[in-house]
Structures are given as structure tokens and as C-alpha cells.
Chains A and B, each alone.
Chain A
Amino acid sequence: MRAPQFMMPSQFKFVLPLLAAIALLAASTAQAANAKLEQIIAPAPHSTADHSKFKELNREFKNGPEVTKACLTCHTEAAKQVQHTKHWTWESTDPKTGKVRGKKNIINNYCTSPVSNENDCMACHAGYGWKDDKFDFKAEQNVDCLICHDQTGTYRKLPGFAGHPVYKRVEFPHGSGKFVEAVNLKKVAQSIGMPTRSNCGSCHFFGAGGNGAKHGDLDSSLQHPGKYLDVHMDEKGLNFYCTTCHATSHHEVSGSRYDTAAAVKGPAHIRGKQDASPASCQSCHSNKPHHEAMLNQHTDKLACQTCHIPEYARNQIGTESSWDWSLATQMGPDGKPMAYKDSAGRRAFDSKKGKWEWDSYVMPEYRWYNGYSDYKVIGDKIDPSKTVHINEVGGSPNDPDSRIWPVKVHRGKQPYDKVNNYLTVQHTAGEDHTALWHNYDWQKAIAAGMKAAKLPYSGEFGFVDTAMTWPITHMVAPKGDALSCAQCHSKNGRLKDIEGVYMPARDSNRWLDLIGWTLVVLTLFGVLMHGVLRLYASKKKG
């Protein structure tokens, strides 16, 4: 049999090249469009300076402060700028009361307080050498430029070094048989660039000592996120860095949970305009971003996040939902310290720290929030008969600056002074004999912690229920995943406990409904009776 021969009909002969040309044109147009998008949103700016060409950096460095000194030869104001920020001071002043808060002064619901534990905690301080209350906050060489600007991904700060990276190969964790190599400071210094997701994430993804533990809307999955996880940071799409929204000027990073722009009004902001809240959704999207007026009218009561972050911790990393310190120092069956993980490989118990619970794909709780949070600081009185709220988000339905926000509530149990009625500061980290994680002795740990905090300790401690509230704002979902109307507009919807707002389908007036339906039933009954009587009358006649 002869093999069939394919002949191209003559009329198609130039159709094919034409099609090819069209395809090429289409492809190049698409490319052009992509290139344009990249130009607009490319988060890693092409710097005008290549730091590997600077002679100041072409040398060996013994330690971090030496690098900083080299940086400051050109960037003369940088350290002074950093020293005004929370990244350096770990302090924040309450705009209403003047109360001084910040990581240094509050007792959070996780590792509690850095006081007396600086050697470990300051692994996340943008500085070098903060190991006790004698740290010099004016010394410019103590500012750590590299933690935010390293582009090699090799610059790591470990607990136990007071904010220094490791200059010598070291076993970490102690006794684990695993080693961390010394950092090559020259290479790191020469790599300098604007902060990427990894830079910010090196601390903010791992808060509370575990991936995703603290925030719930920040974890290592945001280093290379897909569209599902974060519509803006999507690596193959808009590819935002943290700093795309948290626009920074003189090292002051915008956007903070201590003082949040909770109810931004008006149109999208324009370049060059003084921008009070660049990290807000509205600064790009305005407060009327939808095509449907019906959706826009929700912005006077709802934060964007409420609909557009339907769940947080949308991955297997998850986030911690509670930390029970009262079980710390409990030993294993053999009388020795023990630790175990949950089925997803997340820390579940450790004799050093107590018991944890984790959750993934978490539905937020909802609160009225005006951007203002009242924090308990070290020494604030508590009522141990009730749950102690580490912070209370401000706001009410009648406050025009309040919106309904999604929040993560982290619960737990913490030690407190039973006589003085305040949360205690405990010395947890360290190798000395008073450190809880070394000697498993609460009494000694609290006594040492309270001494460092300069607070009287009665000698009697107990455990109290605590809770901390975190407004959720990251992991914004693609619009198709936003909440649908009925998820709130129904009897048992997500906002069923939110007061002060009338929501169709959730709310009704009991009396009006009772009277209304009674009237309807009576009318039906009346016409039915009338009809039956008519039928009866006509039968009788017939």
C-alpha cells in the first residue's frame, strides 16, 4: 500500500506564514505587556551602585560593627535614622496616653518578655550587642545594616549571640550535632541591596521562635508565594516585596500594629502626595474600589481585609493558636525533659516551654477596630479571675474611624505574681542556673526575671489565662476567593457576634416579624374560609 502523501492545498500556502506572523506578533505584544508590568512593579530596583565595586567593602571584616562603620562612610545618616525606628528601640509611644509600649516594654503572649533574655531575643534586633540593660542605643556602629540589606541569603543571626551573626563555626542548637558556618561578611557586605521578602521574613516570618507561630498571616511560604496565598506577592504575578506596600522613608517603615490606619478614606493616593498610610489597601485601591456600588458601600463598616482575607495561615505551616506556659517544667515519664511535635511536624510540647496548639487555614475572629490598641506593659495590674488581655483593640460601631477587622486571637496561660497581681517577667533563655530552659525551676527564673525588670516579686506565682489580638492584614486572597455575601449575611454567619450594625438576613425585629406573619396567616385563613363558604353555598344551591 502506498503511503498517503500530504499535499498542502495551494490556497493555504501563504495562510500558514501569515498565521505564524500573527502568532509572533501576538507573542511579542504579550511580552511587551509583561515587560511593561515588570517595569511598573519590579520590586528589586536596579540600583545605581554596585557595592562589590566599593573599595571600602573590598576587605575582610572581623565583625558586624566593622561592616556598619564601612557603610557609614558613605551613608552618613543611615544609623541615626535607624536609631529613631522601632526596629532599633523596640519601643512605641501610645499616641493617646503617652504610655511607652513596644517589644521592650510589653509582655507578649508567646516568649513573654525579652528582659533578662536579651542574648537570645536580640537575634531579631536590628543591632549588635544588646545583651542587658546597659546597651548603648547611641552607638552608631551597633546598628545592623546587613540583616535588612544582605542579598546573599547567608547572613543569619542565631539566638544566644545578642544580635551578632556567627563569626566562628558553631554547633547549633547546642548539643544537636548540627553546625552553622561562620558568615562571610565581605561577601555579604558586597551584596547589599534593597530589602527583599527574605530579609523582612528572617525575623517577621519566625516570630515567637517558630515558622508562622506568631502572626498567622506571615510565614516562610511568603518567600515564594503563589497567587492563591497572596495576590500581590505572587511570585509569578505582581511579585510585591514587603516594602512595596510598607513604603519606607529615612528607614522608617510604614505600617504598624501599634498604630494602624484602620479606616482610610478617600480616593487612591497619587505619587508625590504626602501619604500618611502607604501600607494601607486604600492608598492604591481607594475606599471605593469595586465596580458595584453595593460592595463599595460596605467600606464604611468593613475593613478590606475582612472580605479579602477569608482565612489566614493558608498552608501546612499554620500558626500557633495557644501557648500554655503552665505545663512548662513538666518532665517526661523518665523524669527527663521531653519534647514532641504534632502530626504536621509543629512543636506541640516542650518541657522548657509548655504546650502549644496549632491551626492551619484559620477563619479569623472579628472585632471593631480603630487602629488603636491598648497594651499591657510590664508591671500593669491584672485581674487574675478573668482572662488577661495582653492588648485590647480599640473601636466601636459608633466610631466613624472604626471598621470590622479580621483578627487572630492567640490564647494561653502565663505566670503571674499572686500577691502583686501582675504578669511576671521570667529569665528563660541562657545557660546559667536561673534560666528556666536550663534548670526547669520557675521560682528561680521568675526571681531573676523580675530582678532584671526592676519589679518587686512576692515569691508566689500562679498561672492566668491570657489572650493577645492580632489584626490580620497579609495573605490577601485573589478576588475569587473573597467572602461571598451569605457568609456574613445569614443567621449564623461569620459576623454573628458583631454588634452595632444592622445586617440584612442576619438581623430582624422579632415583633415586626411576629406581627407581619400573623397578619399574613390571618389573611390567608380569612380568604380560605370565605372560599370554603362560597363553595358550600354553591353546592347547597346546586
Chain B
Amino acid sequence: MNTANRIYLYNRYERFWHWSQALLVISMLITGFEVHGSFTLFGFEQAVNLHTLSAWTLLTLWAFTIFWQFTTGEWRQYIPTLKKVDAMVRYYAFGIFRHAPNPFQKTADKKHNPLQRLAYLALLSMLSPIIWGSGLLYLFYASWASLGVDGYLSLEAVALVHTAGAFLMLVFFIAHVYLTTTGHTPTAHIKTMITGWEEAD
């Protein structure tokens, strides 16, 4: 194998973060929709417990990850850009079927294509606050009175916002998993996320 064609994209912590977060998000989607009443799998009580446990675990993971983002400067990966966004859209809409080359080449400095950047930024800055804000309010329902917010909130409203967030998260999850298959082979992106090494086309 020609090592010149390989780049080390995701270091060990990054991969650990990604996969444990994936596990937690899946767990929260399953248990969350069970709590919502969509199906019965673990039983309501276990579903609530697992959902809560996953939430705290993910928050802890994020605490470390935010620290990691800033100490390594990796947070810059999420600075949005509109450059080549139209090219990416055209690629996914047409080029990909004609085996046109991907207009974006990953480098260690720019791991995410412009569309990805926008998607992740939206996830981080819009969806995340909706889910975590409503989720924490949901979790701390008992303290609403002592926080002085009980006059402005209803459990129903909070639950509805949280559920709406969950639907959006599920949509993101489906699209995200599908897009992992769009590398030069269907499993190439997944391999990269496991090993850290990106094979060049």
C-alpha cells in the first residue's frame, strides 16, 4: 500500500468520541420514542432510566469533547463556508450518478465538506439547544417552582418541543448514515471513522 495516498484524519479521541456518541444517540432515540409511547421495548421505567443515563453520559462526553475542541483548535472545522456549497449540492444531485469526482478533497485541516460543515453547525447551534434545553427542563420538572419558571412552562409544551427535536435528530441520523456510504466504496467512510486513516481515491 502506498502510504502517500493515505492521510490520518481522525485521531484516537475523535474516533472514541464519534462512536460513543453514536451509540448514545441511538440509545436515546430508541428509549426516547419508547417514553413517547411509540412502542414498547424495555418497558417505560427502564426506558426512562436508560434515556436519563444516556443523557448524562453524553453531556459528560461533550464536556470532554468541548475541552478537546478548544485545546486542539479542532473547533475551526465547524466554521461555516459557502464556498463550493453549490458544487457539493450539484455533486450529490447529479455528479454522484455520473461518477464525477467529488469536488471536495478531505485534508487533516478540512475534514468536512462545506455541506457537512453547514449541517453540523446547524445541528450544534439549532437542534442541540432545542433538544438539550427541553430535555433538561423535562428532567428537572420537579424544580420548576424553585427555579421560578413554573408559571411560564407546561410539561406538555416542553414535551412537544423535545419530541419535535427528536424527529429532527432521527432525520439527521438517517441522512448521516446514508451519506457514509457515498465514499469511493460504500464502506470507505466507515472504515476511515474506525481506523482514522482515509484512503485517497
Interface residues of A (CB under 8 A from B): 293-294, 296-297, 300, 484-486, 489-491, 501-502, 504-509, 512-513, 515-517, 519-520, 523-524, 527, 530-531, 533-534, 537-538, 541
Contact = CB atoms under 8 A, between A and B. Distances in A.
7 contacts: A504-B35, A505-B35, A508-B36, A512-B164, A520-B167, A530-B92, A530-B178
Contacts of B160: 509, 512
Contacts of A515: 167
B85 to A, nearest CB: 18
Contacts of B154: 502
A531 B186 CA distance: 10
A507 B35 CA distance: 10
Contacts of B43: 485-486
Contacts of A524: 174
A42 B170 CA distance: 59
B44 A534 contact: no
A491 B52 CA distance: 22
Interface in B49-72: 52
Contact of A507 (B99, B142, B156, B170): B156
| Residue of B164, B167, B175 with most chain A CB atoms under a 10 A cut-off | B167
A502 B155 contact: yes
Interface in B78-115: 92, 96-99
B37 interface: yes
Given A504-B159, A505-B44, A533-B97, A527 B178 contact: yes
Contacts of A506: 37
A533 B160 CA distance: 36
Contact of A512 (B34, B97, B142, B163): B163
Q: Chain B contact residues: over half helix, strand or loop, or mixed?
A: helix
Contacts of A294: 48, 52
Contacts of A527: 174-175, 178
A519 B99 contact: no
Q: Chain A contact residues: over half helix, strand or loop, or mixed?
A: helix
A537 B182 CA distance: 13
B37 A508 contact: yes
The list of the 6 closest CB pairs from A to B, nearest first, reads: A297-B142, A516-B167, A527-B178, A502-B156, A505-B37, A486-B44
B197 interface: no
Contacts of B40: 486, 490
A515 B155 CA distance: 21
Contact of A531 (B44, B48, B159, B181): B181
B120 interface: no
A73 B92 CA distance: 102
B47 to A, nearest CB: 9
Contacts of A520: 167, 170-171, 174
Contacts of B164: 512, 516
Contacts of B10: none
Contacts of B34: 505
A519 B170 CA distance: 9
Interface string B136-171: 000001100000000000111001100110111011
Nearest to B177: A527
A108 B134 CA distance: 49
Nearest to A489: B44
B141 A297 contact: yes
A315 B88 CA distance: 72
Contact of A537 (B98, B166, B168): B98
B44 A485 contact: yes
A506 B35 CA distance: 9
Nearest to B97: A537
Contact of B45 (A485, A516, A517): A485
B145 to A, nearest CB: 8
Contact of B178 (A296, A508, A531): A531
Nearest to B155: A502
A489 B171 CA distance: 26
A534 B96 contact: yes
B98 to A, nearest CB: 7
B25 to A, nearest CB: 15
Contacts of A297: 141-142
B171 A519 contact: yes
Nearest to B138: A504
Contacts of A509: 160, 163
Contacts of A501: 155
A520 B155 CA distance: 25
A502 B159 contact: yes
A517 B164 CA distance: 10
B35 A484 contact: no
A297 B142 CA distance: 5
Contacts of B142: 293, 296-297, 300
Given A502-B159, A523-B174, A486 B97 contact: no
